[in-house]
Amino acid sequence: MTRYHNIDGKRVAFTVGEEAAADAADDVYNSEAEVNKRHNGKVDRQRIAGYASDGDNFDAIWKAIDALRQGSDLPDEVTNILASRAANKAANPKR
C-alpha cells in the first residue's frame, strides 16, 4: 500500500526509503513487546485508580496498628480496604 505526504496540498508518494522506514516503524509499534508495554501501562493506571487514597490507606494502617496493640480484631474499615485491594488486583492483574 502506497503512503503519501501532503505537500502544499498535493499528494506525494513516499520514496522507497520512506516506505521502508515507515514499515520498520510499524513493525516496532506492532511488536509484541510494544503492545505489552502499552497494555501494561493501561492496566497500571486502572490498578492505581482502583486503590483507596493514600490518606485512607494510612488511616487504616494506624487503625490496624492500634487494634493490634490493644489485642482486638481489625476494624471493618481495615478489612474493607484489604478486600478492596485484593479485588482490584484480581480485576487488573500484572502481565
| Local confidence pLDDT in tens for the 95 residues of the chain | 788 989 999 999 999 888 888 888 888 777 777 767 777 667 777 777 888 888 888 899 999 999 999 999 999 999 999 999 899 888 887 76
What's residue 87's pLDDT? 92
| CA gap 81, 56 in Å, rounded | 8
| CA gap 51, 78 in Å, rounded | 13
What's residue 95's pLDDT? 62
What's residue 79's pLDDT? 92
What's residue 8's pLDDT? 92
- Residue 2 carries which DSSP code? -
Q: How many CA atoms lie within 13 A of 65 on its CB side?
A: 6
Q: Is the pTM of this model over 0.85?
A: no
